[in-house]
């Protein structure tokens, strides 16, 4: 082979190798894209195992891990309760998933604590627990809004919050609580994502009030409860109005074993 032919052959081979090599997804490498999951985990007690009181944290962890979230809002989290085998569920999940976390206590329960939590693939700081109001009746279980600051890979900071509103039939407490959430977040200057179990359907007055302050990641939201033949949409992901977020996708995950709620995943992009 002549030197000229060898050079041509080498150049052609190089071109072919580069043209056939797999392309990297731009969106997959985009550090402004954030995968957000919200999940009411029912203290890791699968509905089908309710009578036995089985706690299956491994199942919850697997559900979360499969979705590869950057941020997770959890509700109905037990910490050192007797019913959950004195397990710190927040620590277990954060350790198993190799994520940072904060737990936000709502009430004393069964010898331990019960509340909401956030998990983050990225550094967390500035945890704050906000107590939400209720009408003071005996059935009114105290609720909280738990919030922390997330430092994204590009150095930008956002706020991320998890909440779980009152579950009574009357909307009275939920209305008090959602109004308080709007008030608490009104002056927030960082981009804010909030997620959780509002115990309120999309056509409720509670969600209408919520929508005054926030943009939910879906307009035609899939049902999230019960896990078998779901009929209600009460688990939501949203961001504060005026924030430069763009909704890439919203999905209800069809996972029927681990909890009595279906997990919800939204992919957001924080534009510059």
Residue 17 has pLDDT above 90, yes or no: no
Report if residue 21 sits inside a domain.
no
What's the pLDDT tens digit per position in 98-129?
999 999 999 999 999 999 999 999 999 999 99
Residue 234 has pLDDT above 90, yes or no: yes
> What pLDDT score was predicted for residue 209?
99
Report if residue 144 sits inside a domain.
yes
Q: Which of 34-43, 47-56, 78-87, 163-172 has the lowest mean pLDDT?
A: 47-56
**Residue 219 pLDDT class (50, 70, 90 cuts):** confident
Report if residue 16 sits inside a domain.
no
Residue 69 has pLDDT above 60, yes or no: yes
> What pLDDT score was predicted for residue 3?
47
What's the pLDDT tens digit per position in 141-183?
999 999 999 999 999 999 999 999 999 999 999 999 999 999 9
Residue 134 has pLDDT above 50, yes or no: yes
> What pLDDT score was predicted for residue 205?
98
Residue 266 has pLDDT above 80, yes or no: yes
Report how far residue 262's alpha carbon sits from residue 161's, in angstroms, rounded to the nearest whole number: 19
Domain that holds residue 122: 26-270
- Please tell me the total count of domains within the chain: 1
User: In the beta sheet, which residues pair with residue 100?
Assistant: 120
Report if residue 1 sits inside a domain.
no
> What pLDDT score was predicted for residue 51?
84
> What pLDDT score was predicted for residue 30?
59
What's the pLDDT tens digit per position in 70-80?
999 999 999 99
Percent of the chain with pLDDT over 70: 89
Report if residue 120 sits inside a domain.
yes
Cα distances (Å, whole numbers) of residue 181 to 10, 66, 133, 175: 65, 31, 10, 10
What's the pLDDT tens digit per position in 181-204?
999 999 999 999 999 999 999 999
Percent of the chain with pLDDT over 90: 85
Mean pLDDT across the chain = 91
Residues 22-45 have a mean pLDDT of 74
Domain CATH for 167: 3.60.10.10
């Amino acid at each position: 082979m002549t030197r000229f032919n060898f050079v041509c052959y080498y150049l052609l081979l190089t071109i072919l190798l580069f043209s056939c090599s797999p392309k990297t997804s731009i969106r997959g490498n985009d550090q402004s894209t954030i995968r957000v999951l919200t999940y009411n985990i029912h203290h890791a007690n699968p509905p089908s195992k309710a009578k036995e009181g089985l706690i299956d944290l491994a199942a919850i962890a697997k559900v979360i891990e499969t979705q590869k979230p950057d941020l997770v809002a959890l509700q109905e989290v037990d910490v050192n309760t007797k019913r959950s085998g004195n397990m710190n569920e927040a620590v277990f999940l954060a350790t198993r998933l190799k994520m940072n976390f904060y737990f936000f206590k709502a009430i004393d329960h069964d010898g331990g604590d019960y509340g909401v939590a956030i998990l983050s693939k990225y550094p967390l700081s500035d945890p704050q627990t906000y107590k939400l109001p209720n009408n003071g009746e005996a059935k009114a279980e105290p609720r909280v809004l738990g919030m922390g600051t997330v430092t994204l890979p590009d150095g930008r900071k956002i706020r991320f919050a998890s909440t779980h509103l009152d579950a009574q039939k009357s909307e009275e407490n939920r209305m008090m609580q959602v109004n308080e959430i709007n008030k608490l977040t009104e002056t927030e200057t960082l981009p804010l994502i909030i997620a959780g179990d509002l115990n309120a359907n999309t056509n409720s007055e509670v969600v209408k009030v919520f929508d005054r302050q926030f943009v939910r990641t879906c307009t035609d939201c899939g049902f999230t409860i019960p896990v078998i033949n779901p009929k209600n949409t009460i688990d939501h992901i949203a961001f504060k109005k005026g924030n430069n977020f763009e909704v890439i996708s919203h999905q209800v995950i069809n996972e029927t074993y681990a909890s009595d709620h279906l997990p919800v995943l939204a992919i957001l992009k924080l534009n510059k």
